[in-house]
Structures are given as structure tokens and as C-alpha cells.
A and B are shown apart, each in its own frame.
Chain A
Amino acid sequence: MSKHAEHHSAEQMAELFRQGIHTGVGKPIKHESADKHVAGEAQYIDDRLEFPNQLHVYARLSDRAHARILRIDTAPCYGFPGVRIAITHEDIPGLKDIGPLLPGDPLLAIDTVEYVGQPVLAVAAGDMATARQAALAAIVEYEDLEPVLDVVQALRKRHFVLESHTHQRGDSATALATAPHRLQGTLHIGGQEHFYLETQIASVMPTEDGGMLVYSSTQNPTEVQKLVAEVLGVPMNHVAVDMRRMGGGFGGKETQAASPACLCAVVARLTGQPTKMRLQRVEDMLTTGKRHPFYVEYDVGFDASGRLHGIALELAGNCGCSPDLSASIVDRAMFHADNAYYLGDATINGHRCKTHTASNTAYRGFGGPQGMVAIEEVMDRIARHLQLDPLAVRKANYYGKDERNVTHYYQTVEHNLIAEMTEQLEASAQYAQRREAIRHFNAHSPVLKKGLALTPVKFGISFTASFLNQAGALVHLYTDGSIHLNHGGTEMGQGLNTKVAQVVAEVFQVEVSRIKITATHTEKVPNTSPTAASSGADLNGKAAQNAAETIKQRLVEFATRHWNVSPEDVEFRGGQVRVREQLVSFDTLVQLAYFNQVSLSSTGFYKTPKIYYDRAQARGRPFYYFAFGAACSEVIIDTLTGEYKLLRTDILHDVGDSLNPAIDIGQVEGGFAQGMGWLTTEELVWNAQGKLVTNGPASYKIPAVADMPADFRVQLVENRKNPEHTVFHSKAVGEPPFMLGISVWCALKDAVASLAGYRVQPNIDAPATPERVFWGCEQMRAVVRQPHADTAPLPEV
């Protein structure tokens, strides 16, 4: 018998059975690490006890955007006491390129550098300061080459990292030519720094046979394992990657975590010593990729109600200097250029422009937000042109339930909630009344103006590279009834481990306190997909459910044999197991099973059904289902300076049957804040030499506490199971809420448009910094001074 087993009377057992568990699926329990977070006890890689003889690795970064390397001399590095080794690409034992899918990302620069911030050489020393000083003392001689720094220039020159791709349905040229109205325009959409609070870090311990134990803050342990093996020239089975938690990821640790891990591994191999590499904030911002900036050209035809007849969209993603994940990212921008709207005849071209900047990478939404911002700009522009409320134009274009319900990539939009959600939010946020109140306010406020916008979100769930939609898990039941849970997903704050533990708790009908969540580890669950595409809980939750169900099935089979009952007589509930009329504790059953030689450990596996995509035809069903959301934001702007404040935001978001409403609301609120930041104050600025000058939090401004709306009302859609057979009919929640932030950008433009009677759409690129809002106001004032002959007269203000 276990020393820790609780003993309950028959009455107590009956009561526990009657109540069921309190921490299973659907319960708003707190994050599994919450108590450790608040106490400072949650360990991140830099908090681990350090290995003896550990070396700190520091990479010297290129200060040229595009140059040929003429000479590297690391001899001066060795003049600093404590320096153990200085390496260049020539010292890498195996493959030199760590590009995730295609080459283009040399671990250390080979012949040329392609961005300011590219690692050129690395130095390892007993402490970080010495490694840094020594690395800066190395001699690197360059011959400058002409850089391409501008996305439009790259587009015109067809300076691409990958071929362009087209989605096409119908004949957009004819639709445009015959539509009653037609508008053309362009838009620049800024990139975004992830600003995970924990910068990139890895710590590596060499093991026997040339192997490595790698601690990496990564969303993609398997890829780190593969790349470390490749740069060392060893099989993957020599490398183990351990990942307990990240201090934020947001996509920024999907591919970008590999570089420090691989540099540490190479140095560990060459020196036989353990290594650690932690990027300082400025270096992290200089060297890692960001959200792709996009340049958009649109040509849209529509009728008097604002309904689209056709559209031609050029989406030019600024990929930076290498492919990284840009193939899929620009694809996802194309897949989401419809947002919630039926586009009519559509031609969407996606371009992957190469510039000499850091290679842009995954970031929450993965290109989707950029595609959606483009179509939302089009909606606003149409509304101004027709002098309709932008919401009316949006609703006129929503996908229908039974008709107008096929996307431009030929997936039918099933189970579409957006119309009813919009209706519900419109009512609860009192859109019409506030629209009127704002008109009144603006009429009487000469300096400050208010704006309002309600925007929808429809986001496709699944990796568009279909093979990635698989996951594994590993569950052990120990003889004392405690449970060890491991899965292929990674915890970056999103509460994945909590949700997966709730799933396992639900299956076994025990409280989550009994389940030990352990670090993601490539030796426990192999060949994992990155924790990305909002898929973490969908995939790993299902895999863990599968593992737990396998064990549970064995327990049921054992019970039927042991008590000579049928399977229907065995019921797990509230930590108890009912065998016909008799209750036994879960612990007791586990022990009995063990003594009767039942395996209490199982792997689990899951792959997403139904999805397929033929990229050559640009047709298929890339998404298992869609997640929906809608947000209504009200802002106030100062037309003298462009300063603004978000006053109120109402959100209604669809998570199916929530696995954990508290965690889901956290994702919704946090995603909204990040999306809002992307489109307002987060501005990436590069200088003429291609160096990122907003390279720290003093110059790059993510939302702070006062940027959040004082009146913030967030609701999850209730009683709406995911009709697909997802884990307990929940929906993914990581990325979709990010795009709720678009409502703030549109509200700002609405406030600016009020200056010219809502007749003209202000040209406000993203992010709408106070300066851009100010220039939008100037544009409106110019319109008022010189109204075009073809526009309606100004209303009385």
C-alpha cells in the first residue's frame, strides 16, 4: 500500500463519487505554475544551477547589412584572460546551415553577411563580459555590397527568397471591370518584435559518445534536436532536448531558439565543457527575426451596398534575408485575406520579398493578421466611399451559411458563427447608440474626436503544412496512483500543460494535483511538431487523452476480469471507481492492476482528420475548423498631436467548449493587447544602413498597463461546442484573439475620418502611431479645405 494514499470511509467515497472531480475539463483552474511564478520559484534556463566549468558563449554580430567577408581574425580574442575558444563557421563540425526547411541561415556567416545583427563569430569564456569583450576584439573586414532594404524595391526587382504563389477563384479582372464601383490603393503594415520577456537562451552539457543534453527555451524541441545533431554531425539519438517552460514565445522561439543552442553545442563539442548562451535584450532584438512587415496593393470592385464583386490583392511579405518559415507565413496571409468575407472573384498573389534585414519568422497569427488587416482596410475604404457605416459593409460581405460560403481556396466555411456573434456583440456593446453618441460628442468637441469600430475574426485552425498536424504523449501511472504526464507541446505561458493535465484528469477522473507535469523532452516524446499554429491543446490534448484512454481501457479490462463484471459496470468518477455497486478508490484499482501485471504506461498519438491541401492547385481544406471572434473598440484621439487613448473594448470570442475558461480569457485578453500594440505603438524603425534602431524597450513600445481600456468586457461564446471532434469539443485560442486588436486600428481611423465627415478614408499605415494619426488628421483637414468636386457636401458639424 502507498504510504500517501488517502483513506476514506464508504460514505466519503460515495460523496466523492457523487461530486465528481473539481479540476477537470472546463474548470477555470489556475495555471499549474502560478504559485511558483508569484514566488519566484519557477525555474527558467538561466535560473538553473550552473554546471561546473561552464563557458558563456557570445556571438559577434555583423554591423553591415550586406557585405562580403574579406577576413576574420580571432587571434585578438585570445588576449583576454578567461577566453577558452573563438570560433568561426570553419569550426563547425557538421552542417553549417540551420535553416528550418530550406537553407539560408548559416549558424555563423560564411562568405557574406546579409543583415545587421547576423552572427559572424562566437567566443566562449568563463563569464559573459569577457566573452563579449573578446568577441568585439576580433578583426572582421568587410567589402560592402549594395543592400536591398525596402520591401517595395524588392517587389519591383522581384528580389525574392521564394517563388510567388497565387490563389484564384473566378475571373477577378472581369469582375473588377464590371463592378459598379472600383477602388485601388496601397497599404504598408509594420512588423512586430516578439518581446518575450525571457530572451533567447540555451544551456548545453556534453554527454558520452559525442552527445549533448540541451536545455533550450524553444517552442520546437525536436527541431533544436535535429539541428544540434546536424551541426555536430551526429545522429539525432545522440541529442536530447529538455524544455520545462519559456518566458514567453509568441512564435519567436519556433525557429529562432536554434541558433544559441547550436552555438552552445558546437562550443561544447570543441571544448568538452558545458556552455550557456543568453542573449542580451538589444542583441536579441538585432539578431532574431520578427513578424513580417507587408506591403499591400489592392484593386476592389463592389456594388452600392458595399458587397464585393471581385478583388485583386498583391500581398508582399518582407521576409528578410532568408526563407525561414516565410513560405507558410505568406501562404497564411493569403488564406486570411478574406477574413470573414466572401470575396467574389478573387486573385491573391503572395510574394516573398528578400531584404537585407533579419529573417522574419513566426509570430502569433503567422501572416494571418497581415492578410486580415489588408481586407479590413478595404472594408473601411469602401464604407467611406459609399458613406456607409463600416460595420454595415462588413456585414454585407460576411460569408453566408449556405451560399457565398466557399473561400478563395475552395474550403467551405462550415459552422459559421460570425453573423450571430456580431449581432450579439452589436447589442451588448450598444454599437448603434454609441455610434450616435460619438457623432454627438464629435460635433461638440473641436479638438478631441472619438472613433468606434467593430471588426470580426475568422481564423483557420491547423498547420497548413498538413503533416505537422500530429502529436504524441506519454503517460505513466505509478503504483501509488500518482500520474506522470508528458507530451510534445511546450509551455510558454499559454497554459498548455494545465489544459492537458485537465484532459488527463478528466479521463481518469482524478484531480490535477495528482498529475505531475514534466519538462518537454525529446527522449520521452519524439518527433514532435512545434507548439505553434494555436494547435498545442488540440493536438497534444488529444494525444494525452489517447494515452490516458489506453491505460484506462486496460484498467477497465482488468476490473472486468478481476470482479467478473462487464465493462459497463465499471465507472470512474471523483477519484473512485464504481464496480457495479461497489466503490474502490482509484489508488486501490491501480495497485491491484499492478499486482496483476497490467501495464500502467502508454504513449498516445493523434493526427488531425479531414484536412488536405493541394498547393499546386491552391485548393483544398487546409483547416480542420475556424475559430471566430469579434471586438468593438472605442478610442479618443487628439487631433492636434495625434495622441490617443483606448476607452472601451467589448469582445465576444469563440473557443467552443472551453477546456479552461480562465486560461482562455487570459489568451483572449493577452492576444487582443498584443494585436493592439502591433497596430498602434509598436513601431520598428531601421536606419539607412539597415540597422534596427528601435532595438530595446526604451525605443520599442509594447503596451503598458495604462494602454488597456479602462472598460474592458470580454466574453466567451457560451454553449457552442466545436462541431468537429476536437478535444472535448474545444477550439484553439492561441492566435485568433490577436486579430481582435484590429478593431482599435479601425477605430482610430474612424475617429480621424470624422474630421472630414466620414467621406474619406485616411491613409494611416500600421502601426497607427500618434504621428501617423496626426498626419491622417492633417490629410482630413486638407480635404475639408479643398473638397473634391465628386464628393458629397460636408455635413454640418
Chain B
Amino acid sequence: MIQFLLNQQLCTEDKLDPNLTVLQYLRQRGRTGTKEGCASGDCGACTVVVGELSQGPGGQPSLRYRSVNACLTFVASLHGKQLLSVEDLKHQGHLHSVQRAMADCHGSQCGFCTPGFVMSLFALQKNASEPCRQRAEEALAGNLCRCTGYRPILAAAEQALSAPAVDRFDALKADTMLRLQNIAAQGSASLQRDGTACLLPTRLDELAAQYLAEPSARLLAGGTDLALEVTQAHRAVPRMIYLGNVAELKGVTTFDDRLEIGAATALTDCYPVLAAEYPDFGHLLQRFAALQIRNQGTLGGNIANASPIGDSPPLLIALGASLILRQGTRQRSMALEDFFIDYRATAREPGEFIEKVIVPRATAGQAFRAYKVSKRLDDDISAVCAAINLWLDNGVVRQARVAFGGMAATPKRAYAAEAALAGKVFNAATVEAACAALAGAFTPLSDFRASREYRLHAAQNLLRRCHIELTQPKVATRVTDYV
């Protein structure tokens, strides 16, 4: 049985298929405002907002509203949360201020994407205090509109954030939190039907035991990729264990020499500390899928998924990150580059899962650059992702760690290029040697994203770009700086 609030209504569900998505759930109940545009998390027409208990800036309990794609969210993961869909915003016949703004600014044409935009704007209003074009673009990057050209929607964002009034959700905040706390106090839960199950442990040891007992179960973190198996590949997932309620897997702890990131920490929550430590990591995370995905997707999930085009692994490999893996009561540590064995295959043993990601902190002389090349700037998958981590000492490369995504069957470290750099004067000749080494070590594929020749040229040029940035800082090198 799971429990959640649908707006203010307590829903107790014990007969739902654990493979049911929130989008299907809403529409089957006649809440048809939430639309299916793609069922793959790429268009945002199904955007809903999930309210979740969290910690405020001072550590006090708080309620946090975030946008997610209903098509990628399994209904079981709602346990202990509040779900808001577009129907919940209008109150007593009056449009919510974000709805009013969209209508006033001519933000809808065909109207099909509009409920998703409204919900993204609602979440933005709940998380931003004043108008900011960059934040609005970030909030809306995962919502596609084919009609308007977005200008009026950005105008609506500005209007909605210019006069944020206290709404009904603010007024009911304390009550909502209390009701969610009551659900949370019940501890672990599960949703089961006809032999299909999703377990919802709340403690790490409980999760470890459950997974060891059923190593064929699928771990459900953000679900932004796993859900595609159900909605796109049409394969049922008979057994899932949801990680999102295990507090020990969430959050970032900063030590003198390292960051420890719980594997189930949403990418949105990884952003502040990673961006502060490595600004380029932050820049890349801003272009990592879209906000709805980053609100759900986790750093551990992006690693364990082992896609050759996942965006965080190349960066983490270049930074020398390692994993704490857990199997039952056993813990072991592994360098991240050793974790990826082959195309979508990892060193994870049956019943073993990622508990933490350890990222070394920046040290003196270190320069870290990360680049993502994709067809569309936002919400796209990398053709090439490059991460270059150098320690420079008086113009000499003391140490180099370089890794690429999109260039091989796995996220891959560029050992030959590193060797060409290490110990050398960091000049054009050295960089050219590294570029040549790259050509020898990588044979990327051609696909619809890019040709192999382009991938290789781009990868080499990203090394050159890094050299320009570090040696001629006044030279403009990034189109993304032009906003």
C-alpha cells in the first residue's frame, strides 16, 4: 500500500500496477489536463509538480515543490509526497497567477503543451523569488512548444515572478507537511499487484538486505531511464526497489579532501556543491537533460545506468572519482573508470549497488574543463562529452586526467592523451601530440547524432579549446557564454 496527497486529498492505493506511471494514473482518473506528448520525458507536456518534505536552509523541515515528467514517474514513487497537476491550480473559479500570466501574455496557441508549461512555471514560482531570464530558461528547457517560439512564455514567466502572491499551497503548507510527515512515520511500504512489486525501503540496511535477497530486482532511483523500458520498449519490470526514500542515500557531505554524494541524490541537489567546486561541472549540469529530469534523476543512476553517452561519468572519471559499492553488509571502493566494463555493463555484482560517489576536491594548480557538444544546446544527448583535468605547475603539466563520453562503448579515459600531456610543457605542440594520441586510441561510431569523423575532430578540438582557455583566457571560446 502506498499513500500520497493528490493536492489535498489523501490517496491510499493498494491495487495499482507498480509499472503504472503517474501520467497514466492521472488520465485514468479523468484528470486529463496532463497531456502525453511523447511518453519519453523529452517534451514536458506531462509536467506535474511533486511536493516533498525537505530541509530548509537552516535545517528545519520544509516542503519543496519540483517539476517532474509524469510519464517517467512510477506511481509508487509518490509514496509520502504530494502530487499537483494542472487541475489543482485553479481555485474557486480563479486562475492561479501563473495561469493568468500565461493567458495574459498569449503563451498558449494550440494549448497542448500549455499545462506542462504552467506546471513548470508554478514550480519556478515556488523556487525563485524574482524574475530572471536564465532561471526561466532553465525551468522551461524541458518543455517543448511547437507553436509560439517561446517569447510569450518567457514573458509569462516574468509576469508570474514579478508579483508572486501567497497562494493556497503556501497557506496550507504547515498542514500539508504534517500530513506528509504522518505518512513518512509509517516507515517502509510497498506496492504489489499480481506478482509485480515495488518495494519502498527507508533504511540503507533494509535496502541492502532486500536487494541481496532479490538481486534480479531493478533498482528504481529517478527512473528517468528505467521508465522508458516500460513506456517505450513496452517491457514490464516485475520487481523494483525504490531508493528515493532511503535518507542515507541522499545528500552531499563535504570533507576537506572530498565530496561524498549519496547515490540517490537528485542531480538538482548535486548541482550547488559540484558547481561551487568545479564551475564547469555546474555548467554541464545546467545542460544535462532538462530540469524535470534533473529533479528526478540521480547521480548514482546516471553512473549505474552505464550509458556511453551519460554526461556525468566522463567528468567524474577525469576528476578521479570513486564509488562506494554495497552488497549486503559488505562495502568496497572502486575507481569509477574500473566500474565500466563494456557497453552498458558494469563491475557491479549481483545484489550490489552504489552507495556513494566520492569526488576529490579541487587542489592547487588544478584546472578542470568540461565540454558538451550536442545538436541542440539544451535537453539533448552529447555527441561528444569531454572532461579535462590538469594540474599545471609553471606551465608544465604535472598530471593529466582526460575522459570522454560518446567516443567509445563506455565512458572512457584517454590514457594515451594523458601520457602525451603529462610532464610536458603545456604548449601547442604538446596539445597536438595529445590530439594525435586521441586519434590512435578512439574509434568512435557514426550515428544520427554525429559522424565518427566529426566526433574525433570535435574531441581533438576540445583539447585545443582547453589549451586556449587556460593559456589565453581573454579569448572567447564558448557560444554558451552569449546569452
Contacts and interface: CB of A to CB of B under 8 A. Distances in A.
B109 A40 contact: no
B149 A669 contact: yes
B102 A38 contact: yes
B479 A31 contact: no
Nearest to A197: B112
A656 B468 CA distance: 52
Given A245-B111, A637-B479, A35 B95 contact: yes
Interface string B381-402: 1010000000000000000000
Contact of A645 (B106, B152, B480): B480
Interface string A353-393: 00000000000000000000000000000000000000000
Most buried by A among B103, B234, B380: B103
A710 B132 CA distance: 12
A38 B109 contact: no
Nearest to B148: A670
B450 interface: yes
A492 B111 CA distance: 9
Interface stretch (A224-232, A459-467, A590-598, A691-699): A691-699
Given A38-B114, A670-B148, A43 B32 contact: yes
Contact of B109 (A493, A641, A714): A493
Interface residues of B, number: 87
B38 A696 contact: yes
A645 B482 contact: yes
Given A640-B462, A706-B141, A42 B376 contact: no
A245 B191 CA distance: 38
Contacts of A195: 144, 146
A432 interface: no
A770 interface: yes
Contacts of B447: 693
A43 B31 CA distance: 11
Contacts, number: 260
B40 A37 contact: no
Given A640-B464, A706-B378, A666 B152 contact: yes
B150 A246 contact: no
A775 interface: yes
A698 B234 CA distance: 17
Interface stretch (A59-67, A82-90, A113-121, A440-448): A440-448
B389 to A, nearest CB: 19
A670 B108 CA distance: 11
A412 interface: no
Contacts of A530: none
Nearest to B111: A37
Interface stretch (B59-67, B86-94, B192-200, B323-331): B86-94
Nearest to A40: B33
Contact of A34 (B38, B106, B379, B381): B106
B43 interface: yes
Interface residues of A, number: 88
Contacts of A701: 375-376, 380
A38 B118 contact: yes
B356 interface: no
| Listed residue (B89, B373, B377, B479) with the most chain A CB atoms within 10 angstroms of its CB | B479
Contact of A705 (B141, B380, B461): B141
B364 interface: no
Most buried by A among B33, B43, B111, B447: B111
Interface of B: 27, 31-40, 42-43, 45, 85-87, 89-90, 95, 99-100, 102-104, 106-115, 118, 133, 136-137, 140-141, 143-154, 232, 234, 371, 373-381, 383, 447-451, 454, 457-458, 461-462, 464-465, 468, 475-480, 482-483
**Which 8 A-B pairs give the minimum distances between C-beta atoms?**
A40-B33, A493-B110, A247-B112, A37-B111, A673-B149, A40-B86, A697-B42, A493-B109
19 contacts: A33-B111, A37-B108, A37-B115, A39-B90, A40-B86, A196-B146, A281-B37, A446-B475, A447-B476, A640-B465, A641-B373, A662-B106, A670-B146, A672-B149, A701-B376, A705-B137, A706-B378, A771-B383, A771-B454
